[in-house]
Amino acid sequence: MTGLRPAPGVAHVDDGEIVYAAVLPAGPIVVLDGGAAAIWVAACDGSRASIAERVAEATGASISDVRDDVEAFVEELLARGLLVEASA
């Protein structure tokens, strides 16, 4: 199973509604709320293949409505160095 995890040097805080993440020590702090926070949580907990499914379940949306946006946002988090791929 391939998943994602916060990149080395990334600190994050999840207060249940908002996720704050930053590459330390330089930042900047990225504030994720709503769907973005749901994507972060799903990305850090489980297989990469099922992120969109878990986001849809958490938000009450259909998978077809969120899949493209979820995949694009995960790619953005990877490109920004906030997430990295991890094998379980």
Tens of pLDDT, residues 22-68: 999 988 999 999 999 999 999 999 899 999 999 999 999 999 999 99
Model confidence at 88: pLDDT above 80: no
pLDDT recorded at residue 1 = 59
Q: How many Å apart are CA 48 and CA 4, to the nearest integer?
A: 6
Asked whether residue 87 carries a pLDDT value surpassing 80, the answer given is: no
Structure confidence at residue 2 (pLDDT): 81
Contacts of 58 (CB under 8 A, 6+ apart): 38, 41, 42
Q: By C-alpha distance, which of 88, 49, 86, 87 is closest to 71?
A: 49
pLDDT of residue 46: 86
What's the pLDDT at 76? 97
Average pLDDT over residues 10-27: 95
Q: What is the pLDDT of residue 17?
A: 92
Give the pLDDT of residue 31: 98
Domain ranges of the chain: 2-82
